């Protein structure tokens, strides 16, 4: 750090007094110096470290609140480095006499400017070398980088918990809502089941919003998309140097981020067996250890999990731990598929229409024929499929009224059936491509996600995503 370093580069006007003083506290192991005095821009002493008072014979808090200029005038500080920093507006390094008895004390006074370049604080260190000042700078910047990283991650994960109002009219969903209300403020684990696309995530968010934890974070984790080699570090976090490629500052896991809020684990049936064991231990003890860590961290969160699989069958087949299943299956909330509650189709379709018209700057409505189609359609992809169709209609329809004539081929029944694909003319490659297109379209319409398509067809998720992009999403 040069003599001309502007400390406004790393101090700003928003920092509170406690935070500023604590950054330089020896308890944080950031600096070796522990003789510190902090004053405001008028010279009023705001904080003095206990070690400073002890080393220089001051009674506790005896000079806090006094003016550095007055203490200079009565000889308590000769000269007063704080006063000199205020007078000259720059860093001062000099010796001084403190409390009439301690002579030739090497002191460094630092002006701390706000973002507008105005003096905000003066901090003085005694017996501090320039190497220690450089260490302060480096460690402060490292601390700020870590705090910014964690703050961004928390903010990103919390934005996923935007409040969502469930839209429905059917009796099954009314009963489901009553169950949600009765259990929202309990600590009981909740298992949400239902087909792909029925709205399990929306129900979990609604339970969180109803609960006394609504002011805390809602952390959602899709277990199916986490790589098996990274899932433990993503869930439980890790200390610095835990493995090759790990962040130098370590990382807070998703479970720890849910402290004082709700942890929602979607696709719980996809968890590997060794992670199931750790999750069971977490439920029993409500403590975690980060990877390469030795400290147990106590947590307080509400656990909600969801799956579209039959976990009872997975338990019988040895794919899912029975003890974990019984721990999770305290409150069971089953969401019926959309085809079993057609009364909910209209209100949801209109809600999606309003949202997408707003997003795309359009003013559209549904024709009576289109509404009849929506009610009679089987919806194998459930709510997610309905939402995707309405968005597609809003984007592609230029008329003011959305009608059945605007429906894609896969909804009208005029798409080419597999038997006809096999019998029509064309080269072998063309006919195989057409048949593959039909298979991928049917699977995606039925499953709704690349993970589910990959599982059904026995291909990798990357292959499923590539083929869906080729044949379905154009």
Q: Is the model's pLDDT at 340 over the cut of 50?
A: yes
Which top CATH class is 7-144?
alpha beta
Q: Which of 144-158, 183-197, 334-348, 426-440 has the lowest mean pLDDT?
A: 144-158
Q: Is the model's pLDDT at 19 over the cut of 60?
A: no
Q: Which fold has domain 160-336?
A: Rossmann fold (3.40.50)
Is residue 358 packed enough to be buried (19+ CB in 10 Å), middle (13-18) or exposed (0-12)? exposed
Give me the mean pLDDT over the 63-91 stretch.
94
Task: Tell me how far apart the alpha carbons of residues 261 and 255 are, in angstroms, rounded to a whole number.
Answer: 10
What's residue 405's pLDDT? 85
Q: Is the model's pLDDT at 15 over the cut of 70?
A: no
What's residue 31's pLDDT? 42
**Backbone CA torsion sign across 53, 59, 63, 69:** negative
Task: Tell me how far apart the alpha carbons of residues 80 and 98 are, in angstroms, rounded to a whole number.
Answer: 9
Percentage of the residues of the chain whose pLDDT score is greater than 70: 78
What's residue 34's pLDDT? 65
Binning pLDDT at 50, 70 and 90, where does residue 289 land?
Answer: confident
What's residue 41's pLDDT? 93
What's residue 246's pLDDT? 55
What's residue 187's pLDDT? 92
Span 119-173, pLDDT tens digits:
989 998 875 444 555 666 666 666 666 555 555 544 444 433 333 468 888 889 9
Give me the mean pLDDT over the 376-401 stretch.
92
Segment of 90-94, 224-228, 233-237 carrying the highest mean pLDDT: 90-94
Domain 339-412 CATH assignment equals 1.10.8.60: yes
Binning pLDDT at 50, 70 and 90, where does residue 24 land?
Answer: low
Count the helices and strands in the chain (H runs, E runs): 20, 15
What's residue 435's pLDDT? 80
What's residue 164's pLDDT? 44
Task: Tell me how far apart the alpha carbons of residues 122 and 44 are, in angstroms, rounded to a whole number.
Answer: 10
Q: Is the model's pLDDT at 13 over the cut of 60?
A: no
What's residue 307's pLDDT? 94
Give the global pTM: 0.54
Domain boundaries, the chain: 7-144, 160-336, 339-412, 418-471
What's residue 138's pLDDT? 67
What's residue 262's pLDDT? 95
Q: Is the model's pLDDT at 463 over the cut of 50?
A: yes
Percentage of the residues of the chain whose pLDDT score is greater than 90: 40
What's residue 290's pLDDT? 81
Task: Tell me how far apart the alpha carbons of residues 321 and 120 are, in angstroms, rounded to a whole number.
Answer: 59
Q: Are 347 and 173 in contact (CB under 8 A)?
A: no
What's residue 162's pLDDT? 36
Cα dihedral value 84, 87, 88, 92, nearest 10 = 20
What's residue 354's pLDDT? 92
Query: Nearest 5 degrees, angle CA 235-CA 239-CA 244?
Result: 90
More confident residue, 224 or 259: 259
Q: Are 428 and 441 in contact (CB under 8 A)?
A: no
Give me the mean pLDDT over the 193-207 stretch.
93
Q: Is the model's pLDDT at 456 over the cut of 90?
A: no
Q: Which of 225, 326, 323, 224 is nearest to 270 (CA)?
A: 224
What's residue 4's pLDDT? 36
Span 421-450, pLDDT tens digits:
555 567 877 778 778 888 887 777 767 677
What's residue 264's pLDDT? 95
Give the list of residues 6+ apart from residue 357 with CB closer than 8 angstroms, or none: 363, 364, 394
More confident residue, 9 or 65: 65
Tokens in use for 143?
Answer: 């601390």
What's residue 457's pLDDT? 86
């Amino acid at each position: 750090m040069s003599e001309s370093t502007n400390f406004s580069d790393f101090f700003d006007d928003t920092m509170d007094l406690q935070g500023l003083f604590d950054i330089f506290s020896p308890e944080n192991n950031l600096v070796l110096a522990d003789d510190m005095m902090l004053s405001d821009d008028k010279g009023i002493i705001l904080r003095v470290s206990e070690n400073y008072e002890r080393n220089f014979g001051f009674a506790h808090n005896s000079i806090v609140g006094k003016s550095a200029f007055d203490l200079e005038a009565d000889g308590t500080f000769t000269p007063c480095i704080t006063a000199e920093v205020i007078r000259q507006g720059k860093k001062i390094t000099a010796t001084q006499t403190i409390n009439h008895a301690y002579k030739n004390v090497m002191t460094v006074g630092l002006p701390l400017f706000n973002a507008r370049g105005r003096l905000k604080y003066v901090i003085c260190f005694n017996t501090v070398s320039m190497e220690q000042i450089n260490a302060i700078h480096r460690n402060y910047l490292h601390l700020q980088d870590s705090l910014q990283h964690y703050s961004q991650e928390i903010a990103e994960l919390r934005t996923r918990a935007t409040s969502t109002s469930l839209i429905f009219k059917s009796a099954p969903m009314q009963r489901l809502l009553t169950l949600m209300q009765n259990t929202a403020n309990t600590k009981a684990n909740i298992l949400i089941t239902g087909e792909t696309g029925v709205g399990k995530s929306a129900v979990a968010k609604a339970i969180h919003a109803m609960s006394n934890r609504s002011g805390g974070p809602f952390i959602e984790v899709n277990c199916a998309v986490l790589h098996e080699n990274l899932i433990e570090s993503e869930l439980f976090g890790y200390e610095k140097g835990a493995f090759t490629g790990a962040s130098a500052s370590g990382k807070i896991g998703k479970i720890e981020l849910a402290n004082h809020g709700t942890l929602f684990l979607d696709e719980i049936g996809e968890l590997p067996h060794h992670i199931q064991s750790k999750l069971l231990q977490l439920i029993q003890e409500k403590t975690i250890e980060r990877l390469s860590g030795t400290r147990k961290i106590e947590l307080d969160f509400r656990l909600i999990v969801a799956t579209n699989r039959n976990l009872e069958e997975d338990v019988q087949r040895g794919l899912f731990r029975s003890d974990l299943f019984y721990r999770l299956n305290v409150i069971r909330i089953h969401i019926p598929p959309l085809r079993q509650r057609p009364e909910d189709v209209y209100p949801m379709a209109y809600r999606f229409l309003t949202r997408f018209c707003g997003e795309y700057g359009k003013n559209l409505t549904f024709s009576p024929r289109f509404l009849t189609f929506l009610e009679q359609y089987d919806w194998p992809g459930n709510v997610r499929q309905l939402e995707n169709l309405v968005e597609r209609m809003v984007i592609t329809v230029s008329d003011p009224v959305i009608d059945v004539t605007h429906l894609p081929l896969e909804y009208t029944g005029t798409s080419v059936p597999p038997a006809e694909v096999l019998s029509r003319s064309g080269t072998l490659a063309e006919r195989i491509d057409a048949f593959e297109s039909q298979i991928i379209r049917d699977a995606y319409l039925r499953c709704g996600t690349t993970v589910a398509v990959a599982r059904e067809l026995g291909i990798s998720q990357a292959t499923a995503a590539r083929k869906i992009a080729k044949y379905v999403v154009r």
